[in-house]
Structure 1
Amino acid sequence: MPPKRKSTTKSADQPTKKSRASRPRTKKPTNGVVSQSSSLQTNNSANKRALETWFNMYKDEDEDVISPEGANRFFDDLNVSLEGIQPIVISWKLNATSMGYFTKDEWMDGMRNLNVTNNEELKAKIFDMEESLQDERQFKDFYVFVFPFAKTKTQKSMDVEMALALWEIVLKDRYAHVPLFIDFIRKQEPIKVVNKDQWTSFLDFCKVISVDLSNFDPLSSWPVLFDEYVEWRRDNGL
């Protein structure tokens, strides 16, 4: 008898291969990237709304700018004196271009960099802002910032009374030359305005020249104003 052929028909209890379409699909791990991105976008949107709401508390009615009236209310709400250094330091951190004014871009970018969205959060950082000025490089950056920030935009120089007021605020507690130099200008009235070179050079003068003037070289390239200051002090035994 010929051998029996094996049946090619599978019995009902034999497992069959699942088609590709019927296989359950497994999700690829995302490691939280999608959810983190979504959360970041949500936080950025919330921060933007918070910063705009904060800005709108002080801005002018007809313009997207905070002018002196609004700036005064802002600093008052922060409990900082307009006669002190703090408003200037905050303006420096916001990279403001005009004293008493904040544009919306300056506000939004500056507050984002500071990572604050309201007055209370900003208050908590003011001390650290001032402390950063203990670093010489930071202070030089701050000091250079003050001149274009405070002067009238249509003029190249700063009114001498403004310069004297700012030197008293910014430098008086740092260098012994400052009160003497201010006294010299008030009594002698050698200038009516302070130019950029005089402003910048004064910081270098205070750092380099000893208060007794013993290392002052009359042949050095200081602005003439400083030669006159040294001569006035020596003539008056100061």
Structure 2
Amino acid sequence: MEGICKLCEQLDLDPLEDVRVLVLLWKMGANKKPAEIQKEEWMAACHKLQLDSIDSFKKFLPQLDTGFMDREEFGDFYKFCFQFNRAGTHKTLEKDLVVALLRMCLAGGRVEPDRLDSFCDFLESTKDETYSKITLDQWRSFLDFSYEYPNAKSLEGYDDSESAWPVLIDEYCEYMGKKMGKKK
């Protein structure tokens, strides 16, 4: 991570806030080990992407905008974000990290801001220890759910008795139902 942080500093990117850092690592194929890029991955990617100087990296930055990704490509990137941020061999992410990553990865209109905010609020407010760690399935399901039910102010058509969503999504919908009921 030290090398990534140094590169970010030279590119004027905040590695904790700027999603382009994750997009760069994804495009570079950093997938052998969580939270790092191997030298072989780095060298191969620099050659393939023709990145041989800080200036070439700076010119490459506009291509790291997630807004230019189609849904399938973004889905691959979104999965990478989860996997890259795992610790060692763990298969889950801490809830606080998930909230930060969701806000970083999904900002900018990929998911309706109200949906993103309400889900993050749900995660932050839940006392259920079951959700202190989030699985890849739960992570991916939120994005899929957001595509299927994009309107954060309505859960029209959602039926938990017939859904195949993880329980986390069902409980989020219950949380939203209570919130929407209070507003009436």
Q: Could you state the TM-score of these two structures normalised by the residue count of structure 1?
A: 0.67
Matched, 1:89 2:23: yes
Q: Map Cα deviations across residues 98-151 of structure 1 (whole Å, 9 max, x no partner).
A: 465222101111112212211111110110221564322221111111111111
> Post-superposition shift, 1:154?
2.2
**Matched AA of 1:104:** K
Once residues 77 and 119 of structure 1 are traced to their aligned partners in structure 2, the CA distance between those partners, rounded to angstroms, is 7
Alignment counterpart, residue 175 of structure 1, candidates 102, 106, 111: 111
Once residues 227 and 157 of structure 1 are traced to their aligned partners in structure 2, the CA distance between those partners, rounded to angstroms, is 19
Indicate conservation of the 8 Å contact 1:172/1:179, yes or no. Answer: no
Matched, 1:123 2:58: yes
Indicate the RMSD between aligned Cα atoms, in angstroms.
1.7
Once residues 179 and 82 of structure 2 are traced to their aligned partners in structure 1, the CA distance between those partners, rounded to angstroms, is 31
Flag structure 2 segments of 5+ consecutive residues without an equivalent: none
Once residues 123 and 172 of structure 1 are traced to their aligned partners in structure 2, the CA distance between those partners, rounded to angstroms, is 22
Match of 1:20 in 2: none
Secondary structure, aligned partner of 2:101: helix
Once residues 172 and 189 of structure 1 are traced to their aligned partners in structure 2, the CA distance between those partners, rounded to angstroms, is 25
Q: After TM superposition, what 4+ stretches of structure 1 lie above 2 angstroms from structure 2?
A: 97-102, 131-134
Matched, 1:204 2:147: no
Aligned residues with identical type, % of pairs: 29
Match of 1:70 in 2: 3
**Matched AA of 1:124:** K
Alignment CA distance shift 1:172-1:215 (3 Å):
farther
Alignment counterpart, residue 215 of structure 1, candidates 144, 151, 157: 157
Structure 2 matches for 1:137-176, cutoff 5 A?
137-173=72-108, 174-176=110-112
**Matched AA of 2:169:** F
Once residues 47 and 67 of structure 2 are traced to their aligned partners in structure 1, the CA distance between those partners, rounded to angstroms, is 18
**Matched AA of 2:81:** V
Bigger Rg, which one: 1
Q: Could you state the TM-score of these two structures normalised by the residue count of structure 2?
A: 0.86
Q: Would you tell me which structure has more helix in proportion to its own residues?
A: 2
Secondary structure, aligned partner of 2:80: helix
**Matched AA of 1:217:** D
